[in-house]
Amino acid sequence: MAWRAYLNEYEKLVIRMDTPRVVIDNAVCPTATLVKVDSARKHAILLEAVQVLTDLNLSVKKAYISSDGRWFMDVFHVTDQFGRKLTDDSVISYLEQSLGTEEDDLDQPSKEDGGLTTLELTGGDRPGLLSEVFAVLADLGCSVVEAKVWTHSGRIACLVSVKDELSGLPVDCDTQRIHHILSRLRHILKDDHGVCDVRTAVSSMALAHTDRRLHQMMFSDRDYERSSISPLSSAAPSVSVQNWAEREYSIVNVQCLDRPNLLFDIVCTLTDMEYVVFHGTIDTDGDLARQELYIRHNDGSPISSEAERQRVIQCLQAAIERRATEGQRLEICMEDRPGLLSEVTRTFRENGLLVTRAEVSTKGHMASNVFYVTDVAGQPADLKAIDAVRQRVGFDCLVVKEEQRPHFRRKAADDDDRKQAQGGGGIGLFSLGNLFRRNLYNLGLIKSCS
């Protein structure tokens, strides 16, 4: 009995030690909220933390990551989407609860997806393709409840959640019907070589995080083998990978324009490629983001070949480019009706507009949709074409919006580090000592944000 009681106490101690500890501090930094997460290390623990921040539309201004032995520690400096510190008690409470849980919710089905069938579509992109997809679904009596579409390097990845238009039931309840739907979609998704990929996931298996699934779909489609941005372009992300033989780390350096979800896209890609981030520093300087990540394989080994190194560079560049804003942002909010998406996207096509990214959401009787559009050549959309679409859809229903980005003040105290990094032969590379020099500040032990 005494031995059993000892084991019970030991189990309680292990639980207390493994339970993540979260500290949210608004006093350390004058321009950002400090979020500290300490927990026992486990698979994808960093991605879990970053995913929580991303789902709340928070921007990571800078961060310090450390994971050695069995312990994991992250320090994030975050702001809301307008670049302000977090003051909403409900947001702070949600952060504490979500980051402080032991449960792994990364691949759990969404409880709000009941009664839906999720279609996964990948294939070659072309003008008017999205219009054809929505037209087929409308013709087959499928009501689109949610959808998210990414395009990159001439490829398209689309997650569409649908239900029967009349009954509201999942369409995959009828095996023959779902087979017919997929057959129609495969036909329009075939590229010039007859290649396509259409999958279906029933509602009980729907992934909770659509962005991660879209990354996985485009990765499986090998979009990273096709560069969509010229290496000479100022918008092209700079990615380098080098090995630190003494410590058996591979060091990933990234420099690119800052944008929402950037850290998530990079960490998500490394995690799905079966790499673990052990240490890292993330910094933003004005509109420029720099990341230095120390990674190993899941088995503890660094990158071992030049081919693997080039593949990591290509995959990270693609992950950054996929969500880089291309085109004019158009927001549509209006009463939902059968065939609405088919009509709107057909209007885009008829006016020479190409959809590069889209987010579709229907709540109750209202449809709230966001589209990014260019002309068919990928150039900025003609304002006359946008006005023609607005006239067709309704000026009050379709609004032209600018992408909202947080604007951070450029720091003066780090100018020497920045000049040294940019003048040392590699574009935007951190020195290996940066990670360790800044530990005291990133841990919140030095009350300075510069």
Distance CA 284, CA 256 (A): 10
Rounded average pLDDT over 66-80: 88
pLDDT score of 40: 82
The model's pLDDT over 123-150, given as tens digits with 9 standing for 90+, comes to 889 999 999 999 999 999 999 999 999 9
Q: Name the pLDDT band for 428 (thresholds 50, 70, 90).
A: very low
Same domain assignment for residues 143 and 256: no
Q: Is the pLDDT of residue 3 over 70?
A: no
Domains identified in the chain, total number: 2
Same domain assignment for residues 391 and 431: no
pLDDT score of 170: 87
Same domain assignment for residues 342 and 301: no
Q: Name the pLDDT band for 436 (thresholds 50, 70, 90).
A: very low
Distance CA 218, CA 155 (A): 8
Q: Is the pLDDT of residue 441 over 90?
A: no
Lowest mean pLDDT of 149-158, 182-191, 334-343, 402-411, name the range: 402-411
For residue 115, is it left (φ>0), alpha (ψ between -120 and 50) or beta? left
Same domain assignment for residues 272 and 296: yes
Q: Name the pLDDT band for 5 (thresholds 50, 70, 90).
A: low
The model's pLDDT over 248-303, given as tens digits with 9 standing for 90+, comes to 999 999 999 999 999 999 999 999 999 999 999 999 998 899 999 999 999 999 99
Domain contains 395: yes
Q: Is the pLDDT of residue 447 over 80?
A: no
Q: Is the pLDDT of residue 25 over 80?
A: yes
The model's pLDDT over 304-321, given as tens digits with 9 standing for 90+, comes to 999 999 999 999 999 999
pLDDT score of 7: 47
Rounded average pLDDT over 399-416: 56
Same domain assignment for residues 355 and 264: no
Q: Is the pLDDT of residue 365 over 50?
A: yes
pLDDT score of 171: 87
Query: Residue 294: CB partners within 8 Å, gap ≥ 6?
Result: 244, 247, 249, 250, 251, 252, 277, 278, 279, 280, 435
Q: Is the pLDDT of residue 244 over 80?
A: yes
Same domain assignment for residues 170 and 131: yes
User: Number of H helices and number of E strands within the chain?
Assistant: 13, 16
Same domain assignment for residues 265 and 180: no
Six-digit token string for 233: 């372009």
Domain contains 296: yes
Domain contains 115: no
Return the CA Rg of the chain: 23
The model's pLDDT over 322-349, given as tens digits with 9 standing for 90+, comes to 998 779 999 999 999 999 999 999 999 9
Range(s) of the domain holding residue 416: 2-106+230-323+411-442
pLDDT score of 175: 86
What secondary structure, in 3-state letters, does 293-354 show? EEEEECCCCCCCCHHHHHHHHHHHHHHHHHCCCCCEEEEEEEECCCCHHHHHHHHHHHCCEE
User: b vs e for 363-373, b when ≥16 Cβ sit within 10 Å of the residue's Cβ?
Assistant: eeeebebbbbb
Domain contains 15: yes
Same domain assignment for residues 127 and 158: yes
Q: What is the mean pLDDT of the chain?
A: 82
Same domain assignment for residues 7 and 89: yes
Distance CA 316, CA 264 (A): 11
Give the side-chain half-sphere CA count within 13 A for 73.
10
Lowest mean pLDDT of 55-69, 128-142, 256-270, 404-418, name the range: 404-418
Same domain assignment for residues 177 and 59: no
> What is the H or E stretch that residue 416 is in?
helix 415-422
Distance CA 187, CA 183 (A): 6
Q: Where are the alpha helices (DSSP H) in 190-334?
A: 210-220, 262-272, 306-322
pLDDT score of 159: 94
Contact 49, 5 (CB under 8 A): no
Q: Is the pLDDT of residue 354 over 90?
A: yes
Same domain assignment for residues 202 and 341: yes
Q: Name the pLDDT band for 87 (thresholds 50, 70, 90).
A: very high
Same domain assignment for residues 192 and 338: yes
pLDDT score of 49: 93
Domain contains 377: yes
Domain contains 448: no
pLDDT score of 106: 53
Distance CA 401, CA 406 (A): 15
Domain contains 116: no
Q: Is the pLDDT of residue 218 over 50?
A: yes
Q: Where are the alpha helices (DSSP H) in 34-74?
A: 45-55
Determine what percent of the chain is predicted with pLDDT higher than 70.
76
Query: Residue 393's domain is classified under what CATH number?
Result: 3.30.70.260
Domain contains 315: yes
Query: What is the distance in angstroms between the CA of the first residue and the CA of the last residue of the chain?
Result: 57
Contacts 24+ apart (CB under 8 A), 246-250: 247/294, 248/296, 248/300, 248/301, 248/302, 249/278, 249/279, 249/294, 249/295, 249/296, 249/302, 250/294, 250/295, 250/296, 250/302, 250/303, 250/309, 250/312
Q: Where are the beta strands (DSSP E) in 95-220?
A: 117-124, 142-152, 155-164, 197-201
Q: Where are the beta strands (DSSP E) in 14-105?
A: 21-25, 33-40, 59-68, 71-79
